[in-house]
Structures are given as structure tokens and as C-alpha cells.
Amino acid sequence: MRKRVLPIFLTLLVVMGGFGLTPASAGIKVVVNGKPITTYDINQRAKLIRLIQRSSVAASRREAEKELIDDRLRLEEASRIGVKISEAEVNNAYANIARNVKLTPAKLTAGLRQSGVNPQTLKDRLKAQLAFQQSVRRRFNSQVDVDESDIINALRKSDDENKNISVEYNLQRVIVVVPKKSSKGFRNKRLAESNSIRKAVTACDSAGAVFGKYSEVVVQPIGRRLETELPEPMRKEISKTTPGKLTSPRKTEVGFEMIAVCGKREIASDIAARTELENELRAKEGEALTRRYLMDLRRRASIVYP
């Protein structure tokens, strides 16, 4: 380890020396695989952590430094295996957080700035999380397996009668297309049209007449899905949507997307319970693999404190 670390540290000193800088004056606190993490980075992440967890200044700084080191390793690993996270994906995750705290993305940004946090700090954190989630899936998806006996035992332990009721939806995806290089004015126009479509549609059978009034509206059948088969943010919004209506427009890489709830019914089945329990067991196994993955990346990394 010492042979690998020393050349990186010397290179860092030479580069900084060329600008008349020292590690202290440059504000560099730690160097991860040759890339610096600054005091500013740590302070910003610590402020974000305090805002979320209400932890002490000292505890939040320790957590911030650890997170930033891990984030560098996560992003490097994602890049190594070819995982790329688009700006749209990060913005969608940012918008989901805003929605969960009942704010618009603009108001979330204003709130962060008011608390002294650069919004990019949260976006950087989200990008690292998204990148590592995909890296873990790519590496371990085939390895995460759950025994049938574990599912049966978990079902026997559950005495909640509601577990025997599954909610099934019949869904369609509605996309109001927005080309990538469209102007802000055009995007706003298409968002307004999306909201008009959502307001006008009251039944899937007659929705075609509404869609026909607007250009480039694409309808894709999703089909019947149990509530447990839907991702959490989508499931929550669909559950609040009256059959025949559409969910709120969500910005994606291809435009504004809404989900039409064409049908909803309750069926007597333990499928939902089985799916939920299987997902919980898979998540626990996945968490263990994720921890080992990150520990392995840390073990192989060059982490230098100048």
C-alpha cells in the first residue's frame, strides 16, 4: 500500500507547488485514488446531513467525510463497469425528494440555499447513490436469491389478514413527447398541455379523443400489475389516482410522462404478501452484498490524508 500511496502524494505536492499551494492552503482534507476532497466539500455535505438527521456538528462532519470518500469510490466503480447516470435521472430523483416533502424542486432549491447548502451537494449525493445501485444490480442481481422455505416461514409468521388482499391495477403509460433540444418555452407549453390532458381525461375508453387534440402524444399499454410490482413512488401516486384518471406529469428524457389508471380491483390472494416478503428478503440480502462490495472498494483504494 505504501508504494502505491507515495507517488500519488508526491504528484499532488508537485501540482500544488506549481501554483504556490500547500495541502492546508488548498483546503484538501483527503485524497481518494488521486482525487481530492476539500474542506468545502465536507462542510457542504455536513450541513446537508445536519439538515436531514439533526446530528451534532462533529458527528455530521465525520459522517460527511466518510460519505464523500464512499461516493468517490462508488462513482469510480460505476465508471469502470460502464454505468452512466444522466442529468435527467438525477433531476428526477431530486424532484422525488421535493415531492416527498411537499415542495416543488424550485422551493427545495431555495430552502437548501437558505440553510447554506448548495443544491448541487444533494444532487452529487443522489448521483453517487443511483450509480452504485446500478453497479450493485449489474454485479449481484443473479446472486441475490431467496429460498422458498424462507418465504413460507415469513408468511406463517404474518397474521395480518389484509395480507390476503391484493390490489391489481390496469395501467397505461401516456407520454407527451418533448425533443431533447427543445427550448424552455416549448417545454413549458408541453407541460401545460400535459396538465390539460390530465384534467380532460375521465375514462381510458374515451381518452383517445382527448389525446387526438394534441401532437405527439404516445400511449403505451403497461397492462395489469399488482401494487407490489410497482416501484414505491409510482405505487403511492397510483393508489391516490381515481380509476379513469391520470397521475401528475413527470419529466423524463423523452418528455412528460403520466400513468393512466384504467382499472383497479381487489383480489383474494397471497401473491401480494408473497411478493412483498420476497422483496424484503431480497433487499436484506442485497444490502449485505452492497456493504461487502463497498468494503472491498475501500480495501483496494488509495486514501491519503495530506
Query: What digits encode the pLDDT tens for the residues 105-125?
Result: 999 999 999 999 999 999 999
* Confidence grade of residue 25 (pLDDT, cut at 50, 70, 90): very low
Q: Do 130 and 8 share a structural domain?
A: yes
pLDDT recorded at residue 251: 92
Task: Answer yes or no: are the C-beta atoms of 132 and 222 closer than 8 Å.
Answer: no
Q: Do 179 and 55 share a structural domain?
A: no
CATH number (domain holding residue 113)? 1.10.4030.10
Q: Do 121 and 233 share a structural domain?
A: no
Q: Do 131 and 255 share a structural domain?
A: no
Distance CA 194, CA 177 (A): 10
Tell which residue, 4, 11, 80, 85, has the closest CA to residue 299.
Answer: 4
Contacts of 112 (CB under 8 A, 6+ apart): 48, 51, 118, 119, 121, 122
Grid coordinates given for 162: 389484509
Tell which residue, 124, 133, 131, has the closest CA to residue 48.
Answer: 124
Q: Do 170 and 85 share a structural domain?
A: no
Q: Do 185 and 135 share a structural domain?
A: no
Q: Do 171 and 112 share a structural domain?
A: no
CATH number (domain holding residue 242)? 3.10.50.40
pLDDT recorded at residue 164: 59
Tell which residue, 39, 37, 61, 45, has the closest CA to residue 122.
Answer: 45
pLDDT tens digits along 215-265: 999 999 999 888 878 888 888 899 999 999 999 999 998 999 999 999 998
Distance CA 57, CA 265 (A): 50
pLDDT tens digits along 45-54: 999 999 988 8
What is the four-CA torsion angle of 17, 19, 22, 24, rounded to 10 degrees? -160
Domains in the chain, number: 2
Does 297 map to a domain? no
Mean pLDDT of the chain: 82
pTM: 0.52
Does 289 map to a domain? no
Distance CA 23, CA 272 (A): 56
Q: Do 202 and 136 share a structural domain?
A: no
Across 178-276, where does the E strand assignment appear?
Answer: 217-226, 250-252, 255-268
Q: Do 135 and 33 share a structural domain?
A: yes
Does 292 map to a domain? no
Does 175 map to a domain? yes
Does 18 map to a domain? yes
Of 80 and 13, the one with more pLDDT: 80
Q: Do 49 and 6 share a structural domain?
A: yes
Quote the domain boundaries for residue 75: 2-140
